[in-house]
Chains A and B, each alone.
Chain A
Amino acid sequence: MPLVLTEEQSLLRDSARGFINEKAPIAHLRKMRDERDATGFSRDLWKGFAEMGFAGLLVPESFGGSGLGAVEAGIVLEEIGRNLMPSPFLSTAVLAASALVRGGNAEQQAAYLPKIADGSLIATFAVDEGAKHKPLSIAMQAVRAGNGFKLNGAKALVVDGHVADLLIVAARTSGNAGERGGLTLFLVDPKAKGVSVERTVMVDAHNAARITFDNVEVSADAVLGEVDQGGELLDAVLNIGRGAVASEMVGLSEEVFNRTVTYLKERKQFGKLIGEFQALQHRAATLYIDIEISRAATLKALQTLDQDAAKADHAVSVAKAHAGTTATRAVQEGVQMHGGMGMTDQFDIGLFMKRARVCQELFGDDNFHAERLAEARQY
């Protein structure tokens, strides 16, 4: 498969770009942040996303979605990244939808997928617990109780956690921290007794929450996939999330880069445009190259997820690590090359820096993924 977008995919990109540029430029994020908006995203725009077919991008057509794949999800996220749009697309349309499509039984799919596709249900995936992404170290316990399970533990960095109507929670039903076996995914109603949700205001002004589970009772029907066998499903959903976030980082890197290059062509010092200084030219050139390489690696990862998801670990880690390193550099160079202006809140570059930092941490930073690659290649 050629490593370029097909015609349909280019059209999708254009329509996502058009919609987001018009309806959710960065001023939209600023407004949410400055007004301390309780929802943290615009429900109207999410409806718009549903009408455009984006909310149900990964939902099969039989459930009202478009039945598209990771490449298409990545395309939308890249545009989200360019505009730092606050949107439940990642949590709901990518993570939760993938988990239900891959792990859900017929009733579960019928109950939730159509509502994801029509924009009426916000859902999310709760995995991380500690400061760093360590999916196998999940300590949250799910103990059999009566016909179902009792959940105890705490989750952090749950994207859109405080507005979600449905939580997909990874917990340990057996085994020890560090083991792949013994993990199980559960569908949990955030209004259930014992669930407490704390919205965490994050550096990037995007939605996240800490959620604690205190003897939360769920029925056996709440299990997504097989008991004790959730590790594989968890990996698969995380990989899609990683590929999607890599795309978001490619989008935001490119946007920061374009703004910075524009600035180099406008700002004068020493009687010259600062873009004439070779010290800046060469750094801009290496950054351009890094972004192009991240873009290629990310598209490869997304294509691999669509074609042979079971073999996507390597491509996904390469993409997430490379795009993470690139984004980190892109935002730093962006601020640096804008001089004092880059340090101001009034200027948008700093907002990109903040979002890039969060994207790095989401589902494993560049160190995590380099380590995963070394481990897989046995050295």
Chain B
Amino acid sequence: MSDLDQFRSETRAWLEANCPPEMRKPVATDDDVFWGGRNTKFSSEAQKVWFERMRDKGWTVPDWPTQYGGGGLDPAEAKVLREEMAAINARPPLSSFGIWMLGPALLKYGTDAQKAEHLPKITAGLIRWCQGYSEPNAGSDLASLQTRAESDGDDFVITGQKIWTSYANYADWIFCLVRTDPTAKKHDGISFILFDMASKGVSTKPILLISGKSPFCETFFDGVRVPKSHVVGTVNRGWDVAKYLLQHERAMISGMGGRSAGRPLGQVAATTVGSDAQGKLDDPILRGEIARFEVDEAALACAAERAIDLAKAGQGHPAFSSAMKYYGTELNKRRYEILMSAGGIDALEWESPRSKEGARARDWLRTKANSIEGGTSEVMLGIVAKRILDLPGA
């Protein structure tokens, strides 16, 4: 048996013994996701047990170095763990912007002190992070951001406004883009800085989404003092860090489309649409749409797998995550259009126990943000046109 086969069988046995049955069901509501942080609560004993066992194993972030509380797995082992978790439908023990976004950027650009300070608190689920990028006048054109950071001795003093800051009202710390040189060209005067959301001068105001939830905020900074040592990377070179982080964010968002585990979409649809005498979905055109969707979904899963393997082989293109983000998010929107069509009027009840308080409709509405957050679809296509296809003026 090869080392990897050995690892697979040990992993399978460990998961079998340690993943509680309640944690082997698809995530259905927000309560099913554990985000960590200072004020965190577990929604069930099983969620707590599962998180703690995975944390102790280093598997909240399996591929980070063990010195930071990660699992130290190489890419092949990490893939095996993902596959084995998917095979039993195991939920992620911990979800966090620290894992998906900040961590990779710190590993590449952070000082040893910054890594030692922040990474262990991410893997242990102690600190919850939010992302302070977008501003009212800097969305797609992020580099035009205006939040100022003025030098004052050993500190920067930060003043300005962010918007669409997901979970800012729950987050403990923020990774934030600020303008440190207002005279430089727009990409050249930006710094990437970390600070505590409990700092004096930080306030947040939730924004209600079309889904009826308010997972994001307006975030205001009024003379917030932050030590200069909290800048990641070089002062005024924050755009490099920001872009690198976005690649990871986009790869993560693109994966939201690929949830092929569980029942085939056509069978889910059949529970409301019905089946004909041959057992086929009783709406041939919807059936065809679903089949086409499933082809694209399965093909995307192959591309996601290949992207990882290409990166490992040193053949990946850094802008490819934009391509995946475009396809994955458009696909997820398609999935929910199908689900809403299949659900018919049952899926339209907003407030009823039958509809679990409009769960499907709320999810459907939430997916519309997928092609906006982390860079819009149009921006992704622009990046592909410019950086991969090298088209003029893109």
Bound complex: CA A314 to CA B313 (Å): 27
**A292 pairs with B323, CB closer than 8 A:** yes
**A378 pairs with B306, CB closer than 8 A:** no
Q: Given A4-B310, A292-B303, A286 and B391 touching (CB < 8 A)?
A: no
Task: Tell which of A134-142, A315-323, A338-346 binds the partner.
Answer: A315-323
- The reply on A300 being an interface residue by CB < 8 A is yes
**B306 pairs with A4, CB closer than 8 A:** yes
**A296 pairs with B299, CB closer than 8 A:** yes
Name the interface size band of chain B: 35 or more
**Complex interface: chain B residues within 8 A of A276 (CB):** 391-394
**B391 pairs with A373, CB closer than 8 A:** no
Bound complex: CA A370 to CA B303 (Å): 19
Task: Tell which of B42-50, B352-360, B378-386 binds the partner.
Answer: B378-386
Bound complex: CA A378 to CA B292 (Å): 15
Interface residues of A in 238-283 (CB under 8 A from B): 261, 264-265, 272-273, 275-276, 278, 281-282
Instruction: Mark interface residues in B188-209 (1 if CB within 8 Å of A CB, else 0).
Output: 0000000000000000000000
B128 to chain A, nearest CB (A): 33
Interface residues of A in 278-307 (CB under 8 A from B): 278, 281-282, 284-286, 288-289, 292-297, 299-300
Across the interface, B295 reaches (CB within 8 A) one of A282, A296, A373, namely: A373
Q: Given A276-B392, A281-B394, A318 and B310 touching (CB < 8 A)?
A: no
**A285 pairs with B385, CB closer than 8 A:** yes
Q: Please indicate which of the listed interface residues B267, B391, B393 has the most CB atoms of chain A within 10 Å of its own CB.
A: B391
- The reply on B270 being an interface residue by CB < 8 A is yes
**B302 pairs with A379, CB closer than 8 A:** no
**A281 pairs with B302, CB closer than 8 A:** no
**B287 pairs with A374, CB closer than 8 A:** yes
Q: Please indicate which of the listed interface residues B280, B296, B310, B313 has the most CB atoms of chain A within 10 Å of its own CB.
A: B296
**Complex interface: chain B residues within 8 A of A272 (CB):** 393
**Complex interface: chain A residues within 8 A of B323 (CB):** 285, 288-289, 292
Instruction: Mark interface residues in A1-31 (1 if CB within 8 Å of B CB, else 0).
Output: 0111000000000000000000000000000
Q: Given A276-B391, A289-B323, A374 and B291 touching (CB < 8 A)?
A: yes
- The reply on A37 being an interface residue by CB < 8 A is no
Bound complex: CA A367 to CA B287 (Å): 12
**A282 pairs with B288, CB closer than 8 A:** no
- The reply on B22 being an interface residue by CB < 8 A is no
**Complex interface: chain B residues within 8 A of A314 (CB):** 298
B322 to chain A, nearest CB (A): 9
**Complex interface: chain A residues within 8 A of B382 (CB):** 278, 281-282, 285
A371 to chain B, nearest CB (A): 6
Bound complex: CA A370 to CA B291 (Å): 5
Question: Can you list 16 A-B contacts with CB-CB less than 8 angstroms, sorted by A residue number?
Answer: A261-B391, A275-B392, A281-B382, A285-B323, A285-B384, A289-B384, A295-B303, A297-B299, A299-B302, A318-B298, A370-B292, A373-B291, A374-B288, A377-B266, A378-B267, A379-B280
**Chain A: residues with CB nearer than 8 A to chain B?**
2-4, 261, 264-265, 272-273, 275-276, 278, 281-282, 284-286, 288-289, 292-297, 299-300, 314-315, 317-319, 321-322, 325, 366-367, 369-371, 373-374, 377-379
**Chain B: residues with CB nearer than 8 A to chain A?**
264-267, 269-270, 275, 279-281, 287-288, 290-292, 294-296, 298-300, 302-303, 305-306, 309-310, 312-313, 315, 320, 323, 326-327, 378, 380-382, 384-385, 388-394
Q: What 16 additional pairs, Cβ within 8 angstroms, besides A264-B391, A297-B303, A318-B298?
A: A261-B389, A273-B392, A281-B389, A282-B378, A285-B384, A289-B327, A292-B320, A296-B299, A300-B302, A317-B295, A321-B292, A322-B295, A369-B295, A378-B267, A378-B279, A379-B269
